[in-house]
Structure 1
Amino acid sequence: MTAGETARAIAAMGTRLGPDVVAACRSLFDAEQHALAENIAPVATDCAYGPDPRNRLDLYGEGAGSRPVVLFIHGGGFLVGDKGGESGGENSWANAHVGRWAAANGLIGAVMNYRLAPAHMWPSGAEDVGLAVDWLRANVAAHGGDPERIFLLGTSAGAVHVSAFLKAREDHARLVRGAALLSGLYGFTPLDERDMLYYGPQDCYDLRMPMGAVMATGLPLLIACAAFDPPRFQAEWASLLQARLGRHGHLPRAHYASGHNHYSMAMHLGTADHRLSHELLSFFADHS
Structure 2
Amino acid sequence: MLRFILPALLLAMPALAQITALPPETQAAIRAIGPTMGAEGVTRTAAALAALQPPPAVEPLRDQRYGPDPRHRLDVFSPGAGARPVLVFVHGGGFTGGDKTRPGAFYYDNIGQWAARSGLVGVNITYRLAPQHAYPAVVEDIAAALAWVRANIAAHGGDPARIVLMGQSAGAAHVGDYLAAHAASPGVASAVLVSGVHDVGSYPASPTTGAYYGTDPIRLAQRSAIPGLTRLAIPLFLASADLEPRPFQDQVARLNAALCLAGRCPPYLHMAGHNHFSTVFAIGTADQELTIPILALANR
Normalised to the residue count of structure 2, the TM-score between the two structures is 0.88
Q: What CA distance in whole angstroms lies between the structure 1 residues aligned with 2:30 and 2:64? A: 35
After TM superposition, list the pairs within 5 Å mapping 1:28-107 onto structure 2: 28-33=48-53, 35-37=54-56, 39-42=57-60, 44-84=61-101, 88-91=102-105, 93-107=106-120
Q: What CA distance in whole angstroms lies between the structure 2 residues aligned with 1:272 and 1:194? A: 33
Give the conservation status (yes or no) of the 8 Å contact 2:58–2:79: no
Q: What CA distance in whole angstroms lies between the structure 1 residues aligned with 2:194 and 2:110? A: 16
* Residue 251 (1) aligns with residue 269 (2): no
Return the letter of the residue paired with 2:76: L
Corresponding residue of 1:231 = 246
* Residue 280 (1) aligns with residue 294 (2): yes
SS state at 2:74 partner? strand
Q: What CA distance in whole angstroms lies between the structure 2 residues aligned with 1:2 and 1:246? A: 36
SS state at 2:178 partner? helix
Shift of 1:2: 5.1
Shift of 1:228: 0.8
Q: What CA distance in whole angstroms lies between the structure 2 residues aligned with 1:114 and 1:31? A: 28
Alignment length (residue pairs): 277
Aligned alpha-carbon RMSD (Å): 1.6
By relative contact order (CA 8 Å, sep 6+), the higher-ranking structure is 2
More displaced stretch, 206-215 vs 105-114 = 206-215
Normalised to the residue count of structure 1, the TM-score between the two structures is 0.92
* Residue 186 (1) aligns with residue 198 (2): yes
Corresponding residue of 1:16 = 36
Corresponding residue of 1:219 = 234
More displaced stretch, 112-121 vs 238-247 = 238-247
Which of 127, 132, 135 is 2:140 aligned to? 127
Consecutive unaligned residues in structure 2, runs of 5 or more: 1-20
SS state at 2:262 partner? helix
CA 1:8–1:183 in 2, change beyond 3 Å: closer, same or farther?
same
Q: What CA distance in whole angstroms lies between the structure 1 residues aligned with 2:116 and 2:280? A: 16
Shift of 1:62: 3.5
SS state at 2:76 partner? strand
* Aligned sequence identity (%): 39
* Residue 108 (1) aligns with residue 125 (2): no
Shift of 1:139: 0.4
Give the conservation status (yes or no) of the 8 Å contact 2:81–2:157: yes
SS state at 1:89 partner? coil
Shift of 1:36: 2.7
Return the letter of the residue paired with 1:262: H
